[in-house]
Amino acid sequence: MTESLVTEAETRPVTSAESKSTAQRRIVYISWAESCSRSDHTARELGGKSYMVYLGWLGSHPATVPFKYAGQFLMTLWILLRERPRAVFVMSPPLFAALPAVLWKWISGASFALDCHTGAYKNPRWRKFQWLQHWLGRQAATNLVTNEHLAELVESNGGHATIVRDVPVIFDQQIDMQLPKSFNVAVVCSFNYDEPVQEMFEAAALVKDIRFFVTGNPAKLRSHANVSYPANVALTGYLSDTEYGALLKQADAVMTLTTQDHTMLRGAWEAIYQSTPVIVSDWRCLREAFPKGAIFTRNSAAEISDAVRRCQDAQSRLMQEAQHACGERTLRWDRVRHELLQRVGLEVSVEEGAPLVTSSELRL
């Protein structure tokens, strides 16, 4: 059992005007997860606090999950009672994380929004709970989704949807990752069921002069039977935010792939915000999301290796495109941010400065 931690860190000075404005907003972002950069960055951009509420020592076994969720429910309720937010944002899945927010809404009148990852609708684990997902979606002021397909799904079930393809990703500290002189590809991976892990490793074996740095927990490779990787692949294991940000920025390209349609690849837009080109799976929603600075590939080893070569050959052009895409996304987010704040009943003036940057974490 790891130690219980409650930490808060401000990453820049806050003016009195900003402090007053943020106090009036009081946004709390809840994630039942060990970590989630989308939650942290969204909370930062909205001027709120991001909490990771996770009883990791209870694991994910069917026999312990009810106790885990019950504990996290109580921990979340304690946060809401202590912080007394005017608006709550909740990551889904797991969709049960939204139940304390619903209760807080009934108690205080505060609004809440669901930040719905693709897995909330597409992961087989949550399919039998879709009735609850959609009921929660109707209770929410809005449901944050990443594409039009999911927005239509939410709205057809009576909820309100706001398309949030990505949020600005800022890594304040930079270090030198001392990458080799070769063409370097950072592979953002979680070793999940929808990732073509074997095909990525086979593709790497076809381009031996290129180095691949694969993120994610190597222990999860056990779920992929008989998977092996060539010598030009390095498994990074756990990376701090600073190390992860440096890898994305200093790599020549970032690759992240999925076998599941309608999935937004967080690692890809994190890379674009660092002005780094990306290699992503060839799905329509991803072509629409990454019109610049991207190479698209099907999920076979031969086509993945070809995509890496095409990225290497067009590196200069792709880097320029990624820089332009970063600026365009920042402008788009500014409009979406105002819409979200208004949707949860928190007005924001044009004259208001940048949001308060506060990150909080609660973990057992």
Output the DSSP codes for 16-55.
HHHHHHHHHH-EEEEE-SS--HHHHHHHHHHT-EEEEEE-
**Residue with the two structure tokens 């600075």:** 293
Same structural domain, 26 and 83: yes
Same structural domain, 219 and 137: no
3 state SS for 203-232: HHHHCCCCEEEEEECHHHHHHCCCCCCCCC
Same structural domain, 25 and 105: yes
Instruction: Give domain status of residue 332, yes or no.
Output: no
Same structural domain, 148 and 226: no
Same structural domain, 203 and 317: yes
Please say if the pLDDT value at position 4 is more than 70: no
* pLDDT bucket at 323, cuts 50 / 70 / 90: very high
Instruction: Give domain status of residue 268, yes or no.
Output: yes
**CA 169/CA 335 separation, integer angstroms:** 16
Angle between helices 197-206 and 301-313 (to 10 degrees): 60
Same structural domain, 143 and 198: no
Please say if the pLDDT value at position 25 is more than 70: no
The tens digit of pLDDT for each residue in 92-128 reads 999 999 999 999 999 999 999 999 988 888 888 888 8
CATH number of domain containing 207: 3.40.50.2000
Percentage of the chain beyond pLDDT 70 is 87
Please say if the pLDDT value at position 157 is more than 90: yes
Model pLDDT, residue 171: 82
Split into its structural domains, the chain has a count of: 2
Instruction: Give domain status of residue 72, yes or no.
Output: yes
Q: Give the number of other Cβ atoms within 10 Å of residue 348's Cβ.
A: 17
Dig out the tokens for 357 from the structure: 């940057």
Same structural domain, 255 and 282: yes
Q: Is the pTM of this model over 0.75?
A: no
Same structural domain, 144 and 257: no
Dig out the tokens for 193 from the structure: 């069921």
More confident residue, 24 or 174: 174
**CA 344/CA 110 separation, integer angstroms:** 8
**Residue with the two structure tokens 């912080």:** 83
Please say if the pLDDT value at position 12 is more than 60: no
Instruction: Give domain status of residue 327, yes or no.
Output: no
More confident residue, 13 or 309: 309
Average pLDDT on 321-344 reads 92
Same structural domain, 125 and 49: yes
Average pLDDT on 325-352 reads 82
Tell me the three state secondary structure of residue 124: helix
Angle between helices 37-46 and 315-343 (to 10 degrees): 60
Q: Length of the chain in residues, anyone?
A: 364
Same structural domain, 22 and 70: yes
Average pLDDT, whole number, for the chain?
86
DSSP-assigned beta bridge partners for residue 311: none
Instruction: Give domain status of residue 328, yes or no.
Output: no
Same structural domain, 40 and 134: yes
**CA 364/CA 355 separation, integer angstroms:** 28
Instruction: Give domain status of residue 9, yes or no.
Output: yes
CATH number of domain containing 115: 3.40.50
Same structural domain, 15 and 163: yes
Please say if the pLDDT value at position 364 is more than 70: no
Cα–Cα distances in angstroms (integers) from residue 26 to residues 23, 327, 328, in the given order: 5, 28, 28
Instruction: Give domain status of residue 276, yes or no.
Output: yes
The tens digit of pLDDT for each residue in 305-318 reads 999 999 999 999 99
Model pLDDT, residue 165: 85
Q: Which domain holds residue 221?
A: 184-322
Please say if the pLDDT value at position 14 is more than 50: no
Instruction: Give domain status of residue 334, yes or no.
Output: no
